[in-house]
Amino acid sequence: MGILSSTLSVNKMALYCRQLSAGLNAGVPILQTLETISGPGTPLRIKRINRDLIDCIQRGATLAQAIHWKRRCFPSLFVGLMSIGERCGSLERVLMILAGYYDELLMLKYRFWREVSYPLAVLFGIFIGIPVMQAVLMAIFTNATHLVLTIFWIIVYGLAPFATVILILAILGRITRTKRWMLVFAVKIWPFSVVMRRWVMMKFSWAMALMHEAGIPPYRAVVEAGRITQMPVLERECEMAALKVRSGATVLEALSGVRYLSKQDLAYIEVYEQSGKLEEAFRHMSQDRYADIVYRIRSGLFLLEGFLIIFIGLWICHPG
């Protein structure tokens, strides 16, 4: 949901990961793979990125190092997992898992907009539709001057607040994949904090699930998942948790002191860690966070919708 973000979009990342993985699995050299996926029909921006990656690799860098150098063009999760996958020798598997992750994220994105489209449509009707219909009917029975004046006030009192709602959703999307200080600020300031804390932990859970599925050691997964959140406090807590895991503690014991993890999250970890399917615990955690984010945004929109219905009703009944 990185609206206005400078990184590649989710659908482009899914295709990019799949193409890289196919080339590496087929034994094609990385330089040839990058040249192949820069062929006709490839977006100009991806061609430029690949050209920079090729130049970097030709100067002696590895693929992960080249991607880290171009990290502003890629999501932080992709950059982090590529580095880990290369060190662990499982780059092809990590790329396939990332391709599936971005496919899933794209579906979640579509689901999110589908679920909030109805309240947004209702708000549009309240802000724009009802006042315009009132103005048209008044103009039919009175004069055109009233229509022009009413449309002006619709723009002032209707379109501007509706645009503000859209802008808030855009800002939320931008903050999820932008500079660290903006994310830290949003997590502490209401109303962004309500959603952003859950987004941060959803990102953490997703990263943990992907890294466990890729076979990355738990202590390394905890450290990198903390870094991917881009929250300094969480990064420090995850580094401490990783030290506990490396010294012999279970993942449950290590993560019990990490903030924003609920009792239900710890219960998931306890159950699935005992069964040897820890990635399933983090997948459930990320799904719960996503459902909570959608619920809270929809609840806020419906609450706003109720107040506006009352306001518009009073305005129509007493236009003076």
- CATH number, position 29: 1.20.81.30
pLDDT of residue 160: 63
pLDDT of residue 217: 81
How large is the C-alpha radius of gyration of the chain? 24
Q: What is the DSSP string of 88-102?
A: HT-HHHHHHHHHHHH
Distance CA 6, CA 317 (A): 47
70 domain residue, yes or no: yes
Max alpha carbon distance in the chain (Å)? Answer: 82
Per the CB < 8 A criterion, the answer to whether 57 and 30 are in contact is yes
pTM for this entry: 0.62
165 domain residue, yes or no: no
Report which of 290, 83, 100 is spatially closest to residue 210, judged by C-alpha positions: 100
Distance CA 196, CA 303 (A): 19
Q: What is the 3-state secondary structure (H, E, C) of 233-283?
A: HHHHHHHHHHHHHHCCCCHHHHHCCCCCCCHHHHHHHHHHHHHCCHHHHHH
Amino acid found at 121: A
Cα distances from 96 to residues 19, 57, 75, 278, in angstroms, run 9, 22, 16, 19
122 domain residue, yes or no: no
31 domain residue, yes or no: yes
In the chain, the number of structural domains is: 1
Q: What is the DSSP string of 17-64?
A: HHHHHHHHHTT--HHHHHHHTTSTT--HHHHHHHHHHHHHHHTT--HH
228 domain residue, yes or no: no
Q: What is the 3-state secondary structure (H, E, C) of 272-301?
A: HHHHCCHHHHHHHHHHHHHHHHHHHHHHHH
How crowded is residue 308: how many other Cβ atoms within 10 Å of its Cβ?
20
Pair of tokens at residue 233: 């406090």
Tracing tokens 């809270």 back to the chain, one arrives at 296
pLDDT of residue 177: 52
E strand or H helix that includes residue 72: none
pLDDT of residue 25: 82
Distance CA 147, CA 139 (A): 5
79 domain residue, yes or no: yes
pLDDT of residue 1: 36
40 domain residue, yes or no: yes
78: containing domain: 10-100
- Taking 50 as the pLDDT cut, the residues of the chain under it are 1-5, 320
261 domain residue, yes or no: no
Distance CA 238, CA 257 (A): 9
